[in-house]
Chain A
Amino acid sequence: MGILITMIEIKNLNYNYPSSGKGIFDIDFEVRKGQVVGFLGPNGAGKTTTIRCILGFMKAQSGTVTVNGIDCFNNAPQVAKYVGYIAGEPSFPDGMSGIEFLRFLIDLRISEQGEVKEGENKLDKEILTQRMNTLVQYFELNANTKIKRMSKGMKQKTAIVAAFMHDPEVIILDEPTSGLDPLMQAKFIDMLQNEKKRGKTILISSHMFAEIERTADRVLIIRDGRIVAEDQVKNLKKAQRKSFYVTGDGIGERAGNAKDEIFSKMPKDFVINVLAENEVEFSVQTNEVDSFVKFISKLKVEDISKKEIKLEEVFMQYYKQDQQVEQGGIS
């Protein structure tokens, strides 16, 4: 039943930057409780603007944004009760150590939310401090260091602790692992998976396809301020061309020979990439798998394996398609 609750709801969201003509246009999606949604797009596509509207930092020029049914701009302080956020480039105040800053955030949150939510789930300083300490240990953060002396990775860890220490229901992450070493990236992904199991709602914008692939149930792909694809990761992958590695004696050589008896009759939609003398990669449309099997049955095949499609390739194919359409339009 819990999975049906909509935690983040965006309807016809528009925000236009008049100076550049960029912005977000007719953004429409929702994230349900317990879901992890990946938000993919290149720089300037509109991910951060969308996130700023969810956090109430910016007011949509039209459309609505709600978290747990609460309007994000007009009731931003109430929305903040539910949300943990890591900014793309987190900034910190001068003159404080990591631990001082984290303690300040705890004090401020308690003083604010103690007032806001009388009686219900009142925050406990001891519990928050405990959770902060656990996270500090988990990420091996030396929180006593002055923030201005911290490396980018350490600052990122501080931002992660700040976002998670109040155990928020909704977690919004904008490039959360930027600056972290691979070991810490893996730890972070483990933690996200754990949060997912605990029923947290997560919206994650990232260029690290691996972390989205490992955590997200659904992916939104945004381009030029518009969502161009939205589906489950497995469905997006399914919709892509299939690739197969085929090994056979001299198969690469034959594929390169236009007069070859078998390859000259190959269906035109098949794409071949010769990898070695004895190995080629076939790429076929989803509805051509049967034709592909029939085609290779004519060859002397030693081995065949399906290429695992990565999310990055799915993403790139969406962008290539759009670019091709654009180029076609221009010519």
Chain B
Amino acid sequence: MSFPLLRKMFKQNAVLYWAFIGVIVPYFFLVILMYPMITEMLQGEDNIFGDLFNFGDIGSYTGAMVGELLYTFGLILFIMLVFKLAYKPIDVGSLSMTLMTGISRTKYMITACVFLLMKLAILFVLIFATGILSFLVMGEEFTFVNYLNVVALTMLCLAAVVFIALFLGIMFAGKKAAMALIIAVPVVLYILFMASQLHTSLNFLRWLSVFGWFVPAEVATGTASLWWIAVMVGYVVIVAVSFVLSTIFFKKKDLSL
């Protein structure tokens, strides 16, 4: 790994990153907090689109609007995060000058992946700390381990999407397709996840999207089966395989620099 390169990756757009973190941390916190409420609300009801988007009274205009905003806003934030994390390292802009310093492509790729993981780790720590603090302030009862599991699963899910996007981005590095794919990957996965919740008959779609592999509310309340541990391993495998494939592709790729 190259420390000067890692330092540079962190310095670039640092302000934007921290500003972004400042928005996404409370957002994640809010979503996590609301998950038990949503599931409780949906208990005994058919899993229908209207219910999913409605955080309050289903007939309340404000409730529906807040739900819409949160989900749409969440998707936009998520795409921005994936884009920010996955696109920058393979931005071929200054790559020619960087490679001309004698850094190997493998080392470059390892540094880029460490950078991604570190950024996700920072996000993880912040979300975790914010959550604990908020629970304490609100006087809510919570189980430390369950909350840790939810945040870790969410972050690993995010890491899996980011690394899939990174791999596809590397395959098409230097082309407009790279940017399009990095945006399209989270959108398609998210749409599949949302579609799976439209109706029980579409439930199978959740297995096609990494977002649907676990139910955060179940993990948070400790009612989930041990399946979530397998999910966690699955995410780690996706990250590892994507990293290895990205490195191999990047090493062999013809770069139009």
Contacts and interface: CB of A to CB of B under 8 A. Distances in A.
Interface of A: 52, 55-59, 76-78, 80-81, 83-85, 87, 90-96, 100-101, 104-105, 107-109, 111-113, 116, 159, 162-163
Contacts of A87: 96-97, 257
Q: Helix, strand, loop or mixed for chain A's interface?
A: helix
B3 interface: yes
Contact of B94 (A58, A80, A92, A111): A92
B225 interface: no
A57 B4 contact: no
B12 A108 contact: no
Contacts of B98: 105, 108
B256 interface: yes
B201 interface: no
A90 B102 contact: no
A284 B78 CA distance: 72
Interface string B1-27: 011110110011110000000000000
A162 B96 CA distance: 11
B257 to A, nearest CB: 5
B103 interface: yes
A215 to B, nearest CB: 21
B145 interface: no
Given A101-B94, A108-B103, A116-B102, 11 more contacts: A52-B257, A57-B254, A77-B103, A83-B100, A95-B14, A104-B8, A107-B4, A112-B102, A112-B107, A113-B102, A163-B100
A162 B255 CA distance: 20
Interface string B245-257: 0000000101111
B99 A57 contact: yes
B96 A57 contact: yes
Nearest to A60: B254
Best-buried of A85, A93, A112 by chain B (most CB within 10 Å)? A93
A101 B104 CA distance: 19
Contacts of B252: 59
Interface in B53-93: 91-93
B4 A104 contact: yes
B104 A105 contact: no
Interface of B: 2-5, 7-8, 11-14, 91-94, 96-105, 107, 252, 254-257
A76 B251 CA distance: 11
Contacts of A81: 102
Nearest to B255: A57
18 contacts: A52-B254, A52-B255, A55-B96, A57-B257, A58-B254, A76-B99, A80-B101, A87-B97, A90-B96, A91-B92, A91-B96, A93-B91, A94-B12, A96-B8, A107-B4, A111-B2, A112-B2, A162-B97
B99 A59 contact: no
A51 B26 CA distance: 50
A94 B254 contact: no
Contact of B5 (A57, A83, A108): A108
A57 B14 CA distance: 29
Best-buried of B2, B3, B13, B254 by chain A (most CB within 10 Å)? B254
A159 B11 CA distance: 20
Closest 6 CB pairs of A and B: A107-B4, A91-B93, A112-B102, A80-B102, A109-B101, A58-B254
Contact of B13 (A55, A77, A94, A116): A94
A23 to B, nearest CB: 12
A56 B104 CA distance: 11
Contact of B12 (A59, A95, A163): A95
B197 to A, nearest CB: 38
A85 B2 contact: no
Best-buried of B2, B91, B102 by chain A (most CB within 10 Å)? B102
A76 B254 CA distance: 12
Nearest to A84: B100
A111 B8 contact: no
Given A59-B254, A111-B4, A96 B99 contact: no
A112 B97 contact: no
B255 A58 contact: yes
Contacts of B8: 93, 96, 104, 108
Contact of A93 (B4, B94, B102): B94
Given A57-B255, A87-B257, A108-B4, A159 B97 contact: yes
Contacts of A100: 11
